[in-house]
Chain A
Amino acid sequence: MKKLFTSICIGSFCAFIAFNANAQNNSNNNQTTIASPKPGATGGATADPSQANTGLYNVPIYKRPLTVSASLGTNGIGVSARLGLSPHWRLSLGYNYTPINYTTTFSISSLQTSMDINIHLNNIHLFGEWRPFTSTAFRLVGGIAYFMDSKMNINVTPTNNYYYGLIPLTPATIGKLYANLDYSGIAPYFGFGIFKGQPAPGKFAVNMDFGTYVLSSPRSTITGTNLFADPQVDTKQLDKNIAGWRWLPIVQVNVSYRIKMGSSKSK
């Protein structure tokens, strides 16, 4: 078991894997002390003594509990596959796509504008899940994602006339301003999950994740037309200011289905 985890170690994720190996040992050491199942137990913080069934994990990797999930949340829609490695550890691989279109208003001096924010984030991710309390479905989640072609485009369009002296400058005359933030790159993730993440074979379960990605520092470019053409923005300062705009908070609902390979329930 320990040998397998070491072989899939990636970057900062290694720490989780190493800890996983120890946790697995601890779990094994303590397995005889776990109480018997309680009738009617469900997910969340409810205890499930089936966690102690280490027999699920004493089989080749391809026979261990495998769950597929569809998700919906602040990072858009996604799919993932989760593999149970031990009563404490799971590994998931997934893809998320975030299409966000948002319009708000913004004013520059007396100029009113409409600001269209268009966010497209694509990522593939590899997470490890650690269940510190085998008596509950609570889990800590950490891992890494690669964001591809992930950008935030902001289009600023004037909505009213702006007066230059006595001359009303129409929105068409003023032009448009385009800001582009590029978040592509590698992003660590950390968070936690609640409710049953690994249902019984052939069953569905609903669970939730809360956490955040730490995106790459965005790189900004600003262009414009007409009076906004060639805006000489101090982009270094802008990049510095938005360097903290790296946190992508996640609240996500997952619907999981356990593929029939194992035979026992788990969380």
Chain B
Amino acid sequence: MINKFKLSVVLIAILGLLQITCKKPNTGLTFSIRSDVMKYTAMVSFVDPTTGNAPANVTMSITGPDASLIYEISGKKNFYVLGGQIALGLDPNNSPTASAPKKFNIIASAPGYLSVNVPVTMNESIKQQQLTVNLVNISNPPPGVTIIHKNLALVNGQLPAAVSFATDTTNGKVDSMTLKLPVGLKFLDSSGNQLLGSSVSVQMVHFDNRTQSSLDCFPGGGNPVSNSVVDASGNSTSKYFTTLGFSDISMTVGGNVVRKFSDSITMTMNINDTTNDINTGSPIQAGSLLSVYSYRVETGVWQYENMRAVTSSGSGLIVTHSTNHLTTYNFAYTTDICPNPQSITITYPALGSNKVTGILNIGVLPAGDNGVFRTYPSIKIPITNQSFPYTVSLGNLPTGQVSIAASLFNRIGSNSANDLCSTPATVNISGGAFTFVTASIVGKCRYDSSKVVSPSFYVDYRLHGSNAQYQLLGFVSNGQFSTPLVTVGKTYDLRATFAGQQIDTFATVTNTVNSISVDMSSTSFCQQ
């Protein structure tokens, strides 16, 4: 009997060993991967500066030295502009370095608008950037911009008489551009062949330097700095332009584009006499020398043409330039660019230790540029889960003494008299404490509960029910977001750009701390 009992104990023990069962490790398990595959991105918004709305049917392409590395944010080469926006990203296998930033150009156009060529640089220290590209409506230009159209009869392909015409000075516009065409002028294509037709169609656009909307249309996306400049010695270099005004002149004969002339044409531009001569720091006056640069949208290159002296006339200060080819012309002071710019540190005591998401604007002006009629030309940096002080290294800074301004969450700080080529600078943004609203966002797939993503995306916002243009709220990284720009109790329209799609929704902010679950079943993330 006792042996049977012992045998039972043994058998039970052995059977116990066979009862080893394990659950699959992934049962009910959610695993969130990073969705910010592209570390360097740019949110590009196309805007009609007259209305603030996005132009219809914007088309764009990417050119430039690193164009092959640029993708739409979903990783594809379909550069479709949706609602006036597109998010671009850099091939994550080819990140920029301090010595080798990545450069490309955005060529954009829309029916009834002037085409633009916007150079973009992705620096090592700035992973996200916001670009606003202003497109000028030819029929309804913004303040500070005037357009004149002329249709001139030709005889045997030549002008039968000298012609002179100027842009308007109506609607508060002070400065204008005058174009003079000599008698017998022949119109040539880029190869020097005469274009024959019964008439020549002329379009001349003048941009003054008195209005921000005009300066925002400066060739290259409103950025006064260009890295594609051919100087007086024929060398490729970078320049900071303090423009006194610029023009875009185009002509066609029989539908063919005019590039050259058989004789010189003359353009005369009125000068804003309250602009400082950056060499003296005093208002410009007769005798001041301006550089004339030409520019073609197709290449995005500024070409040095000549130096011209400002003169006095009955209508004030003017500058005159003669040329035998057509393009955009810019009358400007130029400043060299720092070869090794120093860092800028932004302090913001009101943020405390909060890690915030928003759009940081940093602008730098040469000290002699009084900037009376405009805001600082700035770079817009979407900062994400960033604590302050925040130090950033900007490229393309002008040499010499500069003024620096920084703004975030509708507050501005500034600092003057810095030489950023040799000395780091600090800008303090002061003000009282904020109330922050934070959100933790998780995207889920309806048909695959194991797939979870903490999404990274650009998000625009506006008050729900308003017709205001969406404003970029920031770049949400890995689903984490904290901002003082929204208020508890209010409802907002939200527009997220994720994986090449725009998702519109609206939400009421009910708490300062929020957990949000988003159904992403329709996105490529869930469908992969």
Residues of A within 8 A of B (CB): 26, 109, 132-133, 138, 140, 163-170, 173, 190-192, 210-212, 227-234, 237-238, 240-245, 247, 249
Knowing A192-B10, A212-B17 touch, does A232 contact B93 (C-beta < 8 A)?
no
Knowing A167-B93, A170-B93, A192-B13 touch, does A241 contact B34 (C-beta < 8 A)?
no
Choose among B23, B452, B528 the residue that contacts A241 (Cβ–Cβ < 8 A).
B23
Choose among B6, B23, B93 the residue that contacts A169 (Cβ–Cβ < 8 A).
B93
Alpha-carbon separation in the docked complex, A165 to B92 (Å): 12
- Most chain B CB within 10 A, of A109, A228, A238, is at A238
User: Can you show 23 pairs from A to B with CB atoms below 8 A apart?
Assistant: A26-B2, A140-B13, A164-B37, A165-B71, A167-B37, A167-B75, A190-B17, A211-B17, A212-B20, A234-B29, A234-B31, A240-B23, A241-B25, A241-B27, A241-B29, A242-B22, A242-B23, A242-B25, A243-B23, A244-B21, A244-B23, A245-B22, A247-B20
Choose among B2, B32, B74, B92 the residue that contacts A233 (Cβ–Cβ < 8 A).
B32
Choose among B29, B32, B72, B75 the residue that contacts A237 (Cβ–Cβ < 8 A).
B29
5 closest A-B pairs by CB? A165-B75, A232-B32, A132-B6, A164-B75, A244-B22
Choose among B14, B76, B452 the residue that contacts A192 (Cβ–Cβ < 8 A).
B14
Residues from chain B with a CB closer than 8 A to the CB of A133 are: 3, 6
Contact of B16 with A by CB under 8 A: yes
Residue of A nearest to B21 (CB): A244
* Beyond A237-B29, A245-B22, 18 extra complex contacts between A and B, CB < 8 Å: A132-B7, A132-B10, A138-B10, A164-B92, A167-B71, A169-B92, A169-B93, A192-B10, A192-B14, A210-B17, A227-B37, A230-B34, A230-B478, A231-B33, A240-B23, A241-B25, A242-B25, A243-B23
Nearest Cβ in chain A — how far from B452, in angstroms?
A: 7
Contact of B149 with A by CB under 8 A: no
Q: Once the chains bind, are A231 and B76 in contact (CB under 8 Å)?
A: no
Interface size class of chain B, counting residues whose CB lies under 8 Å from the partner chain: 35 or more
Contact of B411 with A by CB under 8 A: no
Nearest Cβ in chain B — how far from A163, in angstroms?
A: 8
Question: B258-271 interface mask toward A, CB cutoff 8 Å, 1 = contact, 0 = none?
Answer: 00000000000000
The A-contacting residues of B in range 75-114, CB under 8 angstroms, are: 75-77, 91-93
Alpha-carbon separation in the docked complex, A58 to B2 (Å): 25
Residue of A nearest to B95 (CB): A173
- Most chain A CB within 10 A, of B24, B25, B75, is at B25
- Most chain A CB within 10 A, of B22, B26, B31, is at B31
Residues from chain A with a CB closer than 8 A to the CB of B21 are: 244
Nearest Cβ in chain B — how far from A80, in angstroms?
A: 20
Residue of A nearest to B31 (CB): A233
Q: Once the chains bind, are A241 and B13 in contact (CB under 8 Å)?
A: no
Nearest Cβ in chain B — how far from A192, in angstroms?
A: 7
Residues from chain A with a CB closer than 8 A to the CB of B528 are: 109
Q: Once the chains bind, are A241 and B75 in contact (CB under 8 Å)?
A: no
Residues from chain A with a CB closer than 8 A to the CB of B93 are: 167-170, 173
Nearest Cβ in chain B — how far from A111, in angstroms?
A: 10
Q: Once the chains bind, are A232 and B452 in contact (CB under 8 Å)?
A: yes
Alpha-carbon separation in the docked complex, A233 to B25 (Å): 12
Residues from chain A with a CB closer than 8 A to the CB of B34 are: 227-230
Contact of B422 with A by CB under 8 A: no
Alpha-carbon separation in the docked complex, A186 to B23 (Å): 22
Residues from chain B with a CB closer than 8 A to the CB of A191 are: 13, 17
Nearest Cβ in chain B — how far from A248, in angstroms?
A: 10
Contact of B454 with A by CB under 8 A: yes
Residue of A nearest to B27 (CB): A241
Knowing A133-B3, A173-B92, A227-B34 touch, does A233 contact B16 (C-beta < 8 A)?
no
Residues from chain A with a CB closer than 8 A to the CB of B6 are: 132-133
Contact of B282 with A by CB under 8 A: no
Residue of B nearest to A167 (CB): B75
Q: Once the chains bind, are A132 and B9 in contact (CB under 8 Å)?
A: yes
Nearest Cβ in chain B — how far from A152, in angstroms?
A: 12
Alpha-carbon separation in the docked complex, A191 to B29 (Å): 33
Contact of B30 with A by CB under 8 A: yes
Nearest Cβ in chain A — how far from B367, in angstroms?
A: 43
Nearest Cβ in chain A — how far from B164, in angstroms?
A: 54
Q: Once the chains bind, are B29 and A233 in contact (CB under 8 Å)?
A: yes
Nearest Cβ in chain A — how far from B477, in angstroms?
A: 10
Q: Once the chains bind, are A234 and B30 in contact (CB under 8 Å)?
A: yes
Knowing A109-B528, A238-B25, A241-B26 touch, does A166 contact B71 (C-beta < 8 A)?
yes
Alpha-carbon separation in the docked complex, A211 to B7 (Å): 17
Alpha-carbon separation in the docked complex, A169 to B93 (Å): 7
Alpha-carbon separation in the docked complex, A231 to B479 (Å): 12
Residues from chain B with a CB closer than 8 A to the CB of A230 are: 34, 478
Contact of B28 with A by CB under 8 A: yes
Nearest Cβ in chain B — how far from A227, in angstroms?
A: 5
Residues from chain B with a CB closer than 8 A to the CB of A138 are: 10
Residues from chain B with a CB closer than 8 A to the CB of A233 are: 29-32
Knowing A192-B14, A241-B23 touch, does A166 contact B76 (C-beta < 8 A)?
yes
Nearest Cβ in chain A — how far from B434, in angstroms?
A: 26
Question: B431-450 interface mask toward A, CB cutoff 8 Å, 1 = contact, 0 = none?
Answer: 00000000000000000000
Nearest Cβ in chain B — how far from A219, in angstroms?
A: 14
Nearest Cβ in chain B — how far from A123, in angstroms?
A: 19
Nearest Cβ in chain B — how far from A247, in angstroms?
A: 5
Residues from chain B with a CB closer than 8 A to the CB of A231 are: 31-33
Nearest Cβ in chain A — how far from B499, in angstroms?
A: 9
Residue of B nearest to A233 (CB): B31
- Most chain B CB within 10 A, of A109, A166, A167, A249, is at A167
Residues from chain A with a CB closer than 8 A to the CB of B454 are: 232
Residues from chain A with a CB closer than 8 A to the CB of B14 are: 192
Alpha-carbon separation in the docked complex, A231 to B452 (Å): 11
Q: Once the chains bind, are A237 and B92 in contact (CB under 8 Å)?
A: no
Nearest Cβ in chain A — how far from B270, in angstroms?
A: 50
Alpha-carbon separation in the docked complex, A228 to B29 (Å): 16
Alpha-carbon separation in the docked complex, A170 to B77 (Å): 19
